[in-house]
Structure 1
Amino acid sequence: MADFEAVHDRLRGIVMKHRGDLAVTTDGPAGVTVEVPGLEGKPRGYVAGTRLGKSYVSYYLMPVYATPGLVESMSPELRKRMQGKSCFNFTKVDEGLLAELDALTARSIPGWRQVAEQVDAGRRS
């Protein structure tokens, strides 16, 4: 059986490394969630997170959903881990893929807060 806790610890580390001033709204054995402060619980507020499941560990990165260029920049191997438009599933630690996911997260998160705040402001107008 795979050591999902080790996988989750590594994925959680990526989220926390790149969260900057984002709000940590969930952090426990089942997963971690980071959101734009002031937009917690709103559709564009969710930025990234993890979920420890029974069959795999999921890594969610919402900027990938909204920025097609990010998907185009991914290796075929990382794309194979995608389920849906913003979720990556892992069953074991793969150093190469985790390094690529780390770099993808580093490119993704910085501009997401501004996009989320602009979209939220547009919805209130």
Structure 2
Amino acid sequence: MVYICNRPMEQPIAIKEVSPGLHLLSNANLDSPCHKGQRLEVGFKEEVGKYGEGEIAVKEVIKKLMKDKIKADESHLPHICSLDWELNLSSIFVEVETPLAYLDDGTWKEHVIDFHIQNQ
């Protein structure tokens, strides 16, 4: 497997071969340590370990892992946007209420796309 990344934007595109195994893909670089990634890795290994050599109930494992709402301690946040926003996004299961828009340099902007489906 090959990993290609354009982050950070100030640096050239990185291309690297990825070894077999468990890897985390987040908004940062491949396998970057972050609270939710570390919790997901530990939880995944624990859940898969429960099955030993037996068949893994994939849907059940995923459901359990993805419901994790535990937020990171402030000291583990990357400090790249507002503390409140980072804290809300730090859990595996993200549950926040926002306007129907997107954040651009600290300002919420609407993003509307209209689709028209025609019968043929």
TM-score normalised by the chain length of structure 2:
0.25
More helix by share: 1
Greater gyration radius: 2
Q: Which has the higher contact order (CA 8 A, sep 6+)?
A: 1
TM-score normalised by the chain length of structure 1:
0.25
More strand by share: 1
